[in-house]
A = this chain, B = another copy of it.
Amino acid sequence: MSKSMNNENIMRRAVIHELYERPLTGAAIESRSLETIDSEVGSHAFAPDQWEVVRRMIHTTADFSLMKSVRFSPDAIESGTGALRSRARIYVDSAMIRAGLSLERLRKVNPDYKPEDIFCYVAYPDIAAEAAERGLPRSIFAVRKARPVLHGGIAVFGNAPVALLELNRMIMEDGVRPALVVAMPVGFVHVTESKAELLGLDVPYIAVEGRRGGSPLAVGTIHALCSLAAGRGVGTRHEREGESG
């Protein structure tokens, strides 16, 4: 039984032929997307380097409403870009963030970045065993194991609020001090509290307040910091003026 829909399928012209006739690279599409965001956003109170981060968060979600929830500590961009330039180690709370982070973008900031500079312990067998024994989520124990990475490193959370809660404790009680905390866990249990607690601590952070968050936001934040760090060059603030957008 052939449906009439099938005939319609054949009759119409596929949209992609327009792209074949006027090719656009992936990089060109990215630029056009960022221009679209700039043209639609209207006025906002973000500093230019903060906007670089927020714009990429909008780019990765197509959600302008996130603008209302993004929070920067005053030193976040400076500390985060400085850490990337000195090839700070990066701790991530999910395999999705690890998969999304672009080594190419990191190497534009510091050519010595290697895959082994990105740490993710949540799938380690010893972590799973400890979590099962204690009746607690694995991500808590993954963060504990990461302590040497977290002190001076970049801590990236796009998934697990309890991991951020445990980092908050390590900051409060154990003297751990990351160069930057990217605080974007998402969900309905412990999430809002984990970010509210972080925002009261004396540590550089970029956060999405409330329940919203996710791995793409965390990845987009790091990639925006890579653009800022690479654009500025090493240790100068002024080179970026020549960048477009």
Contacts and interface: CB of A to CB of B under 8 A. Distances in A.
Interface of A: 3, 5-6, 8-10, 12, 14-17, 19-20, 23-26, 29, 32-33, 36-37, 59-63, 65, 94-96, 98-100, 131, 134-140, 162, 165-166, 168-169, 171-173, 186-191, 193-194, 197, 200-202, 210-216, 219
A8 B200 contact: yes
Given A25-B135, A33-B187, A3 B169 contact: no
A41 to B, nearest CB: 12
A184 to B, nearest CB: 11
A62 B134 contact: no
A137 B188 contact: no
A190 B136 contact: no
A4 to B, nearest CB: 9
B165 A16 contact: yes
A168 to B, nearest CB: 6
B16 A168 contact: yes
Chain A interface main SS type: helix
A202 B19 contact: no
A10 B170 CA distance: 11
Contacts of A61: 186, 212, 214
A9 B170 CA distance: 11
Contacts of A25: 131, 135-137
A137 B19 CA distance: 10
Contact of A98 (B99, B173, B190, B193): B99
Contact of A168 (B15, B23, B137, B193): B15
12 contacts: A9-B202, A14-B168, A15-B168, A19-B165, A19-B190, A20-B136, A23-B136, A25-B137, A29-B190, A33-B188, A36-B189, A63-B212
Contact of A187 (B62, B94, B172): B62
A6 B3 CA distance: 70
Nearest to A102: B95
A69 to B, nearest CB: 11
Nearest to A208: B62
Contacts of A3: 202
